[in-house]
Amino acid sequence: MIYSKRIQQLPPYPFADLDKKKAELKAQGKDLINLSIGDPDLPTPEPIVKCMQAAVAKARHHQYPPYEGTLEFKEAAARWYQRRFNVRLDPASEVLALIGSKEGIANVHYALVDPGDIVLVPTPGYPVYDVAAKFAGGIPFNMPLGKNKNFLPDFSLIQDKIGRKAKIMHLNYPNNPTAAPASDGFFNDAVHFAKQHNIMICHDAAYTEIYFDNRKPKSFLQTPGAKEVGIEFHSLSKTFNMTGWRIGFAVGNAEVLKGLAKIKTNVDSGQFTAVQEAAAFALDHAEELTPAIRATYQKRRDIFVEALNKAGFKVEAPKATFYVWMELSPEKTDVQFADHLMRQTGVIVTPGSAVGEGGENFIRFTLTAPEARLKEAVGRMQQL
Ligand X SMILES: *Cc1c(COP(=O)(O)O)cnc(C)c1O
Contact footprint for ligand X (CB under 6 A): 38, 100-102, 126, 172, 176, 204, 206, 235, 237-238, 243, 248
Q: How far is the CB of 205 from ligand X (least distance, A)?
A: 9
74 vs 238 by CB, closer to ligand X: 238
Neighbours of 124 (CB within 10 A): 26
Separation CA 46–CA 240 (nearest Å): 11
Q: How far is the CB of 82 from ligand X (least distance, A)?
A: 21
Separation CA 135–CA 45 (nearest Å): 36
Report CA torsion sign: 216, 94, 192, 163.
positive
Q: How far is the CB of 274 from ligand X (least distance, A)?
A: 18
Q: Where on the phi/psi map is residue 325: left (φ > 0), alpha (ψ -120 to 50), or beta?
A: beta
Q: Tell me if residue 96 falls in helix, strand or coil.
A: strand
209 vs 376 by CB, closer to ligand X: 209
Q: How far is the CB of 129 from ligand X (least distance, A)?
A: 9
126 vs 297 by CB, closer to ligand X: 126
123 vs 237 by CB, closer to ligand X: 237
Q: In this structure, which amino acid lies at residue 9?
A: Q
DSSP H helix total and E strand total for the chain: 15, 12
Q: How far is the CB of 379 from ligand X (least distance, A)?
A: 28
Residues 6+ apart with CB under 8 A from 50: none
Q: How far apart are the first and last CA of the chain?
A: 47
Neighbours of 276 (CB within 10 A): 26
206 vs 283 by CB, closer to ligand X: 206
197 vs 238 by CB, closer to ligand X: 238
Provide the pairing of β-strand 362-366 with 118-123: unpaired
Query: What backbone phi and psi angles, to 5 degrees, belong to 221?
Result: -75, -5
Q: How far is the CB of 204 from ligand X (least distance, A)?
A: 5
94 vs 204 by CB, closer to ligand X: 204
Neighbours of 338 (CB within 10 A): 25
Query: What backbone phi and psi angles, to 5 degrees, belong to 120?
Result: -85, 120
Cβ atoms of 364 and 38 closer than 8 Å: no
Cβ atoms of 352 and 334 closer than 8 Å: yes
163 vs 318 by CB, closer to ligand X: 318
Q: How far is the CB of 128 from ligand X (least distance, A)?
A: 7
Q: How far is the CB of 383 from ligand X (least distance, A)?
A: 31
